[in-house]
A = this chain, B = another copy of it.
Amino acid sequence: MRAAVAADYDGWGYNRSAAGARAARADGFDVTEHLPAALRRAAAADALIVVAVPMPAVDHMLSAIATYAPQCALTDVVSVKAPVAAAVRAHGLADRYVGGHPMAGTSESGWAATDAKLFGDAVWAVGVDEGTRADPWTRVVRLALDCGSVVVPVVAAEHDRAVARISHLPHVLAEALALAGAGGGDLALGLAAGSFRDGTRVAGTAPDLVRAICEPNSTALLEVLDETLTVLATARDSLRDATSLADLVEAGHDARRRYESARRWEITDIRAGDRDWLEHLRAAGERGGVITRLD
């Protein structure tokens, strides 16, 4: 809401926490702790509703939306996408829904951690699943662009497999690394420098939030976690039997270089509502394409 209002949107919000709503109001934002009131207002204004709660709270929110504002365009910024889409369908809201996931955040949470510039130069995943309608899709893309992000078009299942690799696994490894460091006591923690600090940063995230991000994506996370256990066990065997980490280190370095040198390219020739636009956007997203503006 802070970013949207900074981009000149007429935005208002709901927070279940009275303290959170008060803190936002103290900063001049229009926030209530009364959900029906916020949603009735959204329905009257034909607003775009952005669900920004952890996965365990999504069902409750959708239930209220189905009651008070079922015709509104609807998106979300929940990490995982397929479970949100399933819940949206269960509440009969699929027609107006387009999933979203801005790839930005810190290990902090709460109103005090809000930052209007959080989405600047970020990537914002926006759904192009079958059945997506052009009107709400365009509104969601415009919001992302207005907040300073570029948009990656992606279907829910592919999104969830991708973020298991680049967001959820990093959380799991950061927690394990933090544990390994603390196992070395004050001496090890006192010697820790950049590699440990960076490698454990996201372990500072609130545990409930990490679980709410990772656990709903367990199928995809299990797949890459198993893959990584195999990679690490192979490296362990090589280190034990041949005192060598060559295979892991060379492949890992190549992978990091590929990440560093990846260049986004701009999708310019596909318009919402055109023939096969969803399939074309999905294919472009898979090849590293991003949307940077709407005509």
Report A's interface with B, CB cutoff 8 A: 103-106, 122-123, 125, 152, 154, 158-159, 161-163, 165-167, 169-207, 210-211, 214-215, 218, 221-222, 224-229, 231-233, 235-236, 239-240, 243-246, 248-260, 262, 264, 285-288, 290
Q: Chain B residues near A211: list those with CB within 8 A.
A: 244-246, 249
For the complex, what is the distance from the CA of A26 to the CA of B287, rounded to whole Å?
45
Q: Judging by beta carbons under 8 Å apart, are A198 and B198 in contact? A: yes
Contact B172 A248 (CB under 8 A): yes
Contact of A193 among B167, B201, B254, B260 (CB under 8 A): B167
Establish whether residues B162 and A187, one from each chain, have CB atoms under 8 Å apart when the complex forms.
Answer: yes
Q: A217 to nearest B CB, angstroms?
A: 10
CB of A170 within 8 A of CB of B199, answer: yes
For A198, the closest partner residue in chain B by CB is: B198
Which listed residue (B171, B190, B229, B264) contacts A262, Cβ 8 A?
Answer: B190
Check B125 against A191 for contact (C-beta < 8 Å): yes
Copies in the complex: 2
Q: Is B123 touching A191 in the complex (CB atoms < 8 A)?
A: yes
Residue of A232, A235, A243, A285 contacting most chain B CB atoms (<10 Å): A232
Bound complex: CA of A188 vs CA of B170, how far in Å?
A: 13
A166 touches B188 (CB 8 A): yes
Say whether B183 contacts A252, CB under 8 Å. no
Are the CB atoms of A183 and B245 closer together than 8 Å? no
Subset of 17 A-B contacts with CB under 8 Å: A161-B184, A162-B187, A165-B183, A166-B192, A169-B177, A170-B195, A170-B196, A173-B232, A176-B232, A180-B227, A180-B228, A186-B287, A190-B290, A192-B259, A198-B201, A200-B259, A204-B260
Q: How far is the CB of A254 from chain B (nearest CB, A)?
A: 8
Q: Are A236 and B225 in contact (CB under 8 A)?
A: yes
Cβ contacts under 8 Å, A233 to chain B: 229
The chain B residue with its CB closest to the CB of A252 is B175
When the two chains form their complex, are residues A178 and B123 in contact, meaning their CB atoms are under 8 A apart? no
Q: Which residue of B lies closest to A173 (CB)?
A: B173
- B236 adjacent to A226 (CB under 8 Å): yes
A248 to B214 alpha-carbon distance, docked (Å): 12
Q: A176-B173, A180-B165, A199-B174 are in contact. Are A152 and B190 (CB under 8 A)?
A: yes
Residue of B nearest to A202 (CB): B195
